[in-house]
């Protein structure tokens, strides 16, 4: 199966409802195919293969988490619901990764504030939030000038 259609999704969702929310392997494959095909859209084409794989996995997990909220009596378009879940999951994943990258970059740039450049102690933990807060405060001050 290359493309997923509502006529394929609806029977699987009915089975899931009948089985007390247990998702079949076929439905999980459909989640995966929808997420994989969505990752090929122009919005997400520039990301690395490893990021895309992680985004797809996160989207499938999110679909599994929220598919129970879909009501077949209110809507006959589960494809749109699942695609929206996947899209929002991709965007949340990208924001989270960018935030982590920003923290890492800030820490590398501001390492002198750690006063550990001479003696690096691997057993000592680093409070990254202080560095990031200092960096954000500096940016706010620059904007005020």
pLDDT digits (tens, 9 = 90+) for 16-46: 999 998 999 999 999 999 999 999 999 898 8
Task: Assess whether 89 and 126 both reside in one domain.
Answer: no
> For residue 18, is it within any domain?
yes
Task: Assess whether 91 and 115 both reside in one domain.
Answer: no
- The torsion angles phi and psi of 121, rounded to 5 degrees, stand at -110, 110
Task: Assess whether 83 and 145 both reside in one domain.
Answer: no
What domain range is 91 assigned to?
6-99
Listed as ranges, residues in the chain with pLDDT below 70 are 1, 110-145
How far apart, in whole angstroms, are the C-alpha atoms of residue 75 and residue 10? 10
Q: Are 12 and 27 in contact (CB under 8 A)?
A: yes
How far apart, in whole angstroms, are the C-alpha atoms of residue 85 and residue 63? 6
> For residue 41, is it within any domain?
yes
Single pTM value for the model: 0.73
What pLDDT does residue 45 have? 86
Task: Assess whether 44 and 75 both reside in one domain.
Answer: yes
């Amino acid at each position: 199966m290359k493309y997923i259609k509502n006529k394929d999704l609806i029977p699987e969702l009915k089975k899931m409802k009948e089985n007390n929310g247990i998702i079949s392997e076929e439905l999980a494959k459909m989640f995966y195919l929808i997420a994989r095909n969505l990752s090929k859209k122009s919005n997400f084409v520039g990301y690395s293969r490893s990021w895309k794989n992680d985004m797809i996995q996160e989207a499938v997990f999110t679909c599994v988490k929220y598919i129970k909220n879909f009501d077949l009596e209110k809507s006959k378009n589960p494809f749109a619901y699942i695609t929206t879940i996947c899209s929002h999951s991709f965007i949340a994943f990208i924001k989270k990764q960018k935030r982590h990258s920003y923290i890492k970059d800030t820490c590398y740039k501001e390492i002198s504030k750690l006063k550990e450049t001479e003696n690096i102690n691997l057993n000592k933990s680093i409070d990254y939030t202080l560095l990031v807060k200092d960096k954000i405060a500096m940016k706010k001050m620059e904007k005020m000038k």
